[in-house]
Chains A and B, each alone.
Chain A
Amino acid sequence: MQLNNLPRSAADSRTPAPNSRKCGNGKGWVICPLPDEPSVRLLSAIQFTYNELVAAYNQTRVDYIVPMPMNATRLQEYVHTYDVDLELSCVGMEGEHILGLAMLGVRPGHTWVTRLGVLPVKRRRGTGQLLMECLIEQARNLDVGYVTLDVIKHNDPALRLFLKLGFREMRELMVIRRPPGPPANGIGPYKVNLFDYHHAVALLHQRRTIPSWLDERESLLNAGNLSALRVELPTGDWGWMVYQKTVFQLARLVLQTEAGDPHRVGLALIHALHALHPGLDTKSENLPLDCPHWPAMQEMGYIESFRRIEMRLDLA
């Protein structure tokens, strides 16, 4: 497959490869990756409407254990929050029918593959691999150091494909939830300070843990509605938490213990959060399995929803 002439970005449209052509609307690109199957084409996702993309995406996930369907509004938010570049993202077509799609998030130094899916009836024909190879080539053309992705644990066909393409497993991440309700009593005394968006952003600059793409600072800033709190225990233990609060949900929790025992600090942080917002459902994605605050979160009513495996392909 010749992909080295794909445009670097929407602002850098270069001469198409012999087997690709620019589209009539002036946006995107088309590639015919299989010379013996000219009906199979890869197109830039920018050529499709959000409604078309979301309809295809939902169809690709219909038989997933965790289907995570979206509507056009949510996809649009997703594209914005996670810096997905639709120009560089890819839709596989056979004739006039969508076979599958894959999207590429682009940030300085690295990219992220997301929303990869192939229609159930069109699987096992190499479409997923074609889409992945296309996105990897896009990433190479951007001169980034590496590509990451998150695959749902136990999605073995996808895992095998990514390993085949050279990705390696980095760590396991949990998607966790807590239903609404006041926090359990029995937490010792602590002092709490509440902070606004600007202070929350400043705290994120002090984060020591390595975030996944979903909770990188860029994602949190793009998502907006950030607040923060800080707790201090009589023992001198202290830490802070940044979180997103929307109408129905608390999300995107980032906890950090600055001094003392992460368990004690975690209990106080979570207690403070839910004492403040007892009526809200909570969901947080991609908490590392070895997060030192997780035991405290479990004690405060958090449950594991499912796991992902973070994978990485070094390009340098």
Chain B
Amino acid sequence: MKTILLIEDNADNAKIAMRALKPHGYRLLHASDGESGLTMAMEEKPDLILLDLGLPDLEGQTLAALIRGSPEIGRVPLVAVTAWPPDTASQMAKAYGCDGYISKPISPRQFPSQIAIYLEEGIDDAVE
């Protein structure tokens, strides 16, 4: 079972994302700020990290840089989740070593297949 860590401070956004992914058999972890997200990432070593770029303590970009600079979790696929305009989101995600970005608000229907790409598996395989 693949583990996904969602680092997202907004409770409503987190709920929508978790609800969309739950039927697909992932082990889902949620951190509501950057510090606990980094701690959870180090302890759990997830298969994918979904990172909100606007966090209340550490900024998302700074956290992305810390994750990428970590020998333990530096190679975990990292996807920015952001409401920034596509050009800025793309540039920022690339600069900070993210594997890609997903625009907010997320589409609960499309979200699982967007995620599956980064887990290197087809959506059909991911659905239990």
A residues neighboring B (CB under 8 Å): 54, 58, 62, 64-71, 73-74, 177, 179-180, 248-249, 279, 281, 283, 301, 303, 305-306
Pick the contact of A67: B58, B65, B83 (CB < 8 A).
B83
Q: Is the CB of B97 within 8 A of A70?
A: no
Given contact pairs A279-B69, A281-B62, a sample of 11 additional A-B residue pairs in the complex whose CB atoms are under 8 Å apart: A64-B83, A69-B54, A69-B56, A71-B57, A73-B57, A179-B61, A179-B95, A281-B61, A303-B92, A305-B92, A306-B84
Which residue of chain A is the closest to B66 with respect to CB atoms?
A248
Can you report 11 residue pairs joining A to B where beta carbons are below 8 Å apart? A58-B9, A62-B10, A64-B83, A69-B54, A70-B56, A71-B56, A71-B57, A177-B95, A179-B96, A279-B69, A283-B61
For residue B56, which residues in chain A have a CB less than 8 angstroms away from its CB? 54, 58, 69-71, 74
Q: Is the CB of B83 within 8 A of A65?
A: yes
Q: Is the interface of B mostly helix, strand, loop or mixed?
A: loop
Q: Is the interface of A mostly helix, strand, loop or mixed?
A: loop
Which residue of chain A is the closest to B57 with respect to CB atoms?
A71
Pick the contact of A248: B9, B62, B95 (CB < 8 A).
B62
Q: A146 to nearest B CB, angstroms?
A: 31
B residues neighboring A (CB under 8 Å): 9-10, 12, 33, 54-59, 61-62, 64-66, 69, 83-85, 88, 91-92, 95-97
Q: Is the CB of B59 within 8 A of A180?
A: no
- Give A18 to B107 CA distance when docked, in angstroms: 52
- Give A274 to B47 CA distance when docked, in angstroms: 32
Q: A51 to nearest B CB, angstroms?
A: 12
For residue B55, which residues in chain A have a CB less than 8 angstroms away from its CB? 69
- Give A179 to B80 CA distance when docked, in angstroms: 15
Q: B59 to nearest A CB, angstroms?
A: 7
Nearest 3 CB-CB pairs, A to B?
A71-B56, A69-B56, A281-B65
Most chain B beta carbons < 10 A, residue from A65, A67, A249: A67
Q: B31 to nearest A CB, angstroms?
A: 13
For residue A74, which residues in chain B have a CB less than 8 angstroms away from its CB? 56-57
